[in-house]
Structure 1
Amino acid sequence: MSEPTPVILIDDDVQLLKATAQTIELAGFGVSRFSKASQALAVLDAGFGGVVVSDIRMPDIDGLELFERIRRLDPDLPVILMTGHGDIPMAVAAIRNGVYDFIAKPFATDQLVQSLRRAAEKRRLVLENRALRVAAETAHDDLPLIGQTPAMERLRRTLRQIADTDIDVLVTGETGSGKEVVATLLHRWSRRAKCNFVALNCGSLPETLIESELFGHEAGAFTGAQKKRIGRIEHSSGGTLFLDEIESMPPSVQVRMLRVLEAREVTPLGINAPRPVDLRVIAAAKVDLGDPAERGSFREDLYYRLNVVTVSIPPLRERSDDVPLLFGYFASRAGRRFNREPPALSAAVSRHLATHSWPGNVRELSHFAERFVLGLEGDAKAVTADDNAGGLSLPERVERYEAEIIREALSANDGDARRTIEMLGIPRKTFYDKLQRHGIERVAFEPAKGS
């Protein structure tokens, strides 16, 4: 459970101080009591995560002077002032100067509690926006594995340990979790960084082309081969070869790939003599290749040859504490890309970040941050769907939920129709019928050109 929001309560009337503190504690807040403003100022700093409630008429430092000192410390720290002697002009002047609320004694318990809850929510959003700005300023493109959870710290530590070795690595993780980011870092942090990082998605090329792409060919090796082509394997010699979605590699190519891994040599189509290659392979899979049921037609011997070291990337839902940090980084990056200042985080967006399961992982969060910066209405509907569902019928709620799931799947797959259909598990015609019914533009989820 999260810690209760702290409240600093100041009143020189000891009995009233005790009674007010009990009221605030019963409402679920954590209260620190002080009979002098100077005592409270000694423990306050700009990082205080709660609300200050103070009487006005006090010796030494009164409530208005206390507010001025707090405003110099942190102008966004909410202060609620109480008085039994204040009049309307004093209240108006205090509010104009930035006091969050002004409550005249005697006051109803609910009045104070409701004011505290509103002030606490405002303070939470202020600190969250500050944290996002700090995250954006301190997270750089050369450190893309952002996260402070133990799982991410372990992952970075593991990558540092194995980066400068020549062992082959198998990276596992759900779609959008950052497998290519891990492969890129392993290359960048190794002595191979001065040579090529060559990436190939095994599921994006037809079987007729993947063999030529990987192994290369000589001129005249087959019909249409007019010029010599250096394959991806040979092009990565001295550097790193990244094979994404390796579970999609055709069986015939798997046989040749096994030979390359064992002998560290490649034989392009059209020649007989193999060529040696200085090779390091990083393969990525979105299924558990160690499980025969999930492995399917993927060769067991190739799996064991690749599985020298396995690196598993945790899904975003298992490290939810990293979501605000990542969102701040992506929003700042999107702001620079679109030449827009990212808007302040609203309560609805903050709630969405905290409660959404992020099935598309980091990729989905990145796209959400981009649309947040652009202020697109589609995201506003998705974020507030739960808030606005009260007046909808059951069929209308189901329709809205279905549309949100489709948007999430498109976001997770960069708008790629084939991968989205595969994730949703529906026929192609059904997919396009649903896009039309919900008014969803698939191309809106594709990455911008040049990004």
Structure 2
Amino acid sequence: MTDTRILLIDDEEEMRRSSAQALELFGLEVDTFSSAEPVLELVGYAFNGVVVSDIRMPGMDGMTLLQRIREVDPEVPVILVTGHADVQLAVSAMRAGVYDFLEKPFTVQHLAGIIRRAMDRRSLVLENRRLRAVAGKRDDIEARLPGRTQVMVDLRYKLRAIGAADADTLIIGETGAGKEVVARALHDISARANKPFIAINCAALPENLIESELFGHEAGAFPGALRPRYGKFEHGRGGTILLDEIGSMPFDLQAKFLRVLQERIITRLGSNEPVPLDVRFIATSKVDLAAEVAAGRFRADLLYRLNVATLHVPSLNQRQADVPLLFLQLVREAAARYMRSDVDVPPELITDIAERNWPGNVRELRNAADRFVLGLHGAAGDAPSPLEPQRLADKVAAYEKGLIASALAAHGGSLKPVYERLGVSRKTLYEKMQKYGLDKNPTSEALQDDF
């Protein structure tokens, strides 16, 4: 248990400090936090530790933190503490999956005992996962990125290979396909798993503060900078930084970020002192970055430097055969999240789900699963209307198009392995691609690197 982490969150400084010092007397190493948000950057599937949190706090409270952690990994032990005698709150916490619930005042000896049992349980969970992976059974990556189609099998294979390599990675995929899930999985199977995972939405950064947000600043660097501040890059030291929708990064900032990628050094605004940066960068994009380069909106040298390894996350259209099983899994997850039991999905709904088009990909499918579990699937205008009955020829054509699109994505646009795997001639493959309007390259071949 040498690497086990105990994350203690309490907004009251005196309580936080005294609890940590007392737990350390019992031989437990504790990291303390005044708010819940930073903890979410440290908790993942590979997190070897326990979270102890006060319930009533400004900002994100303990119950919300519990729900957010369970979305990442439902088997992370969370111990909630409250100073209010509230039976209903305790019952709600237990139903939501809390490991244990404590009421103040409590003895530190009692808390230490609960923490040790939670540590043992977490260690057992992680060991069982490791053994299942070694035995070739369904592991955490497959649970988080389910699917039996070849494109998903290939994605999981590449992800496992890249994960341990610590290489900067570019993840390409449509909106809602699961790019951030892939990025988080890369972090969780890497040696950086117990370090921060910092997600930065490049499209949402305020233009007037973007450099300060990323690089940090010294006191007096600009009006209103009253004290020094770490930027998000520095805050992620030792861990992984996700640059979501990197194509939205302002062109002027791209040159500065390129220097960070190359030299792994940052300089805070208002300072001349370089700060070493030990991080792994993962970037995502829903747009063709090669086309952005051609349009003059993205730097070619930054693209070359970013895509040391590239992962393509397939759309649901490219893995249509996975939709029914994926929907059933999302229904089970939603039922657990909303504490609903015995949710049965009628066969006719599964058929309807499988035949629909899902432009919003997994995100849209998850919303549909949530609506079904909440009983809202029949509300007017809430979900797409069932498709009109299709002729058999139309269904066969749609299935054939999906198979070819999946094979093209799986082999990065290389045609030979596609027609060999599908058992057709090169001429037949060309004709069918032309018939269905399929392009052999999901992105531009000139700048594509499939690892």
TM range (shorter): 0.5 to 0.7
Measured after TM superposition, the shift of residue 255 of structure 1 is 1.3
Measured after TM superposition, the shift of residue 194 of structure 1 is 1.5
| Aligned residue in 1 for 2:369 | 369
| Equivalent residues of 2:355, 2:387 under 8 A apart | no
* Alpha-carbon spacing, 1:342–1:378, altered in 2? closer, same or farther (3 Å): same
- Correspondence 1:268 to 2:232: no
- Correspondence 1:304 to 2:316: no
| Aligned residue in 2 for 1:246 | 246
Rounded to whole Å, the distance in 1 between the matches of 2:327 and 2:284 is: 25
* Alpha-carbon spacing, 1:223–1:381, altered in 2? closer, same or farther (3 Å): closer
Letter in structure 2 aligned against 1:257 = F
- Correspondence 1:173 to 2:173: yes
Return the TM-score normalized by structure 1.
Answer: 0.53
| Aligned residue in 2 for 1:396 | none
Stretch moving more, 321-330 or 154-163: 321-330
Which string of whole-angstrom CA distances, capped at 9 and with x for unpartnered residues, describes residues 188-207 of structure 1? 00001111111101001221
Q: Tell me, which stretches of 5 or more residues in structure 1 are unaligned?
A: 1-137, 390-451
Measured after TM superposition, the shift of residue 334 of structure 1 is 1.0
| Equivalent residues of 1:331, 1:342 under 8 A apart | no
Q: Which has the larger radius of gyration?
A: 1
Measured after TM superposition, the shift of residue 342 of structure 1 is 5.3
* Alpha-carbon spacing, 1:294–1:327, altered in 2? closer, same or farther (3 Å): farther
Letter in structure 2 aligned against 1:180 = E
Which string of whole-angstrom CA distances, capped at 9 and with x for unpartnered residues, describes residues 114-167 of structure 1? xxxxxxxxxxxxxxxxxxxxxxxx896983111111111111110111101121
Letter in structure 1 aligned against 2:159 = L
Show the 5 A alignment for 1:326-345.
326-341=326-341, 343-345=343-345
* Alpha-carbon spacing, 1:377–1:313, altered in 2? closer, same or farther (3 Å): closer
Rounded to whole Å, the distance in 1 between the matches of 2:296 and 2:381 is: 40
Letter in structure 2 aligned against 1:217 = H
Rounded to whole Å, the distance in 1 between the matches of 2:320 and 2:370 is: 19
- Correspondence 1:197 to 2:192: no
| Aligned residue in 2 for 1:357 | 357
* Alpha-carbon spacing, 1:232–1:342, altered in 2? closer, same or farther (3 Å): farther
Return the TM-score normalized by structure 2.
Answer: 0.53
Rounded to whole Å, the distance in 2 between the matches of 1:258 and 1:387 is: 48
- Secondary structure (helix, strand or coil) at the match of 1:351 reads helix
Letter in structure 2 aligned against 1:303 = L
Q: Tell me, which stretches of 5 or more residues in structure 2 are unaligned?
A: 1-137, 390-451
- Sequence identity percentage: 50
Rounded to whole Å, the distance in 1 between the matches of 2:386 and 2:143 is: 35
- After the TM superposition, list the runs of 4 or more consecutive aligned residues in structure 1 that deviate by more than 6 angstroms: 138-142
| Equivalent residues of 1:332, 1:342 under 8 A apart | no
Measured after TM superposition, the shift of residue 384 of structure 1 is 7.2
Aligned positions, number: 252
| Equivalent residues of 1:139, 1:146 under 8 A apart | no
Which string of whole-angstrom CA distances, capped at 9 and with x for unpartnered residues, describes residues 334-373 of structure 1? 1111111253223442232111111001111111100000
Which structure's residues are more often helix, by fraction?
Answer: 1
Which string of whole-angstrom CA distances, capped at 9 and with x for unpartnered residues, describes residues 399-444 of structure 1? xxxxxxxxxxxxxxxxxxxxxxxxxxxxxxxxxxxxxxxxxxxxxx
* Alpha-carbon spacing, 1:387–1:300, altered in 2? closer, same or farther (3 Å): closer
Measured after TM superposition, the shift of residue 302 of structure 1 is 0.9
Letter in structure 1 aligned against 2:264 = R
What value does the CA root-mean-square deviation take over the aligned residues? 2.3
Rounded to whole Å, the distance in 2 between the matches of 1:325 and 1:212 is: 45
Show the 5 A alignment for 1:49-448.
143-292=143-292, 296-341=296-341, 343-377=343-377, 385-386=385-386
| Equivalent residues of 1:179, 1:313 under 8 A apart | yes
| Equivalent residues of 2:335, 2:343 under 8 A apart | no
Letter in structure 1 aligned against 2:224 = G
| Equivalent residues of 1:289, 1:295 under 8 A apart | no
Measured after TM superposition, the shift of residue 304 of structure 1 is 1.0
| Equivalent residues of 2:293, 2:300 under 8 A apart | no
